[in-house]
Amino acid sequence: MQEVYKNIVSEKENKLLAVLIDPENEHLWQIAPKIKKINSSAATHIFVGGSTDPDSRTDAVIKEIKKHTALPVVIFPGDTNQISASADALLFLSLISGRNPDYLIGKHVTAVPKIIEAGLDVIPTAYILIEGGSVSAVERVSKTKPLSINNIETIVKTAKAGELLGMNLVYLEAGSGASFPIPEEVIRAVKNNLNIPLIVGGGVKTKEQLEAAYEAGADMVVVGTAFEQNTSVFETQLNQKMIIK
């Protein structure tokens, strides 16, 4: 139990990189070549999830991914139908930037029997949505507003509240496909006030943005859209100079 989390804590100095796979966009036959690319890239984790999964494809997608990789597969759930016993861990996300009770605690209660049955490594995660220049799926689905990048004090206090509530990770989210990623000054301010690992994601499209996030204090960066659009992005950009393993 907690192997994935222990590994994140012990390896975070090396800067971790998660590739996000959204089951809604995946055909099973596309997975093997995609995972091959990920295996030979700097990625250290595979996250699986999306704001919605209308056809409940997550379990099948994770089973297929697991056939082709030894990397830890972590569920990054948008809803309770994305819990799968085939994964290695689950980010138990509470959307603490918002005030929608369903995404703060409601769905969590509903998910408990499934989580217990699956025997997953559960990682309580403070999930904080921050403006990324466009309306994100998280904003649409959760019906919550992102925190303004101009209000760094509130972002820092929100992250710290997550830590003080006992959460094990903070995830700063600009939203999938964000116009711009989380600004460095936001990452730096949160990191300077935090004692738990910090994940940053949303809108990271270039090696420069990736390195800037690490430089500012991200322990792990999540990349989804850039990889979906070009599975060679790691060869051409992210893999250069990135020594992660």
| 53 binding ligand 1GP? (CB under 6 A) | no
Per-residue binding string, ligand 1GP, 114-153, x by CB under 6 A, is ----------------------------------------
In angstroms, rounded to a whole number, what is the distance separating the alpha carbons of residues 111 and 79?
Answer: 9
| Nearest distance in Å: CB 3, ligand 1GP | 23
Cβ-based neighbour number of residue 13 at 10 Å: 8
Site for ligand 1GP in 171-210 (CB under 6 A): 173, 176-178, 201-204
Mark 90-118 as b/e (b = at least 16 C-beta within 10 Å).
Answer: bbbbbbbbbeeebbbeebbeebeebbeeb
| Structure-block tokens of residue 167 | 């959460």
With CB under 6 A as the contact rule, the residue among 16, 19, 20, 46 that binds ligand 1GP is: 20
In angstroms, rounded to a whole number, what is the distance separating the alpha carbons of residues 213 and 219?
Answer: 9
Cβ-based neighbour number of residue 86 at 10 Å: 18
56 residue type, one letter: S
Q: How many residues bind ligand 1GP (CB under 6 A)?
A: 14
| Nearest distance in Å: CB 225, ligand 1GP | 3
| Structure-block tokens of residue 123 | 């990682």
User: How far, CA to CA in Å, does 187 sit from each of 14, 41, 80, 183, 221?
Assistant: 17, 25, 29, 7, 11
Residue nearest to ligand 1GP (CB): 201
| Nearest distance in Å: CB 138, ligand 1GP | 7
Query: 36 Cβ partners below 8 Å, 6+ apart?
Result: 68
| Nearest distance in Å: CB 228, ligand 1GP | 7
Per-residue binding string, ligand 1GP, 73-112, x by CB under 6 A, is ----------------------------------------
Residue among 97 and 176 whose Cβ is closer to ligand 1GP? 176
Site for ligand 1GP in 215-244 (CB under 6 A): 222-226
Q: Which residues bind ligand 1GP (CB under 6 A)?
A: 20, 173, 176-178, 201-204, 222-226
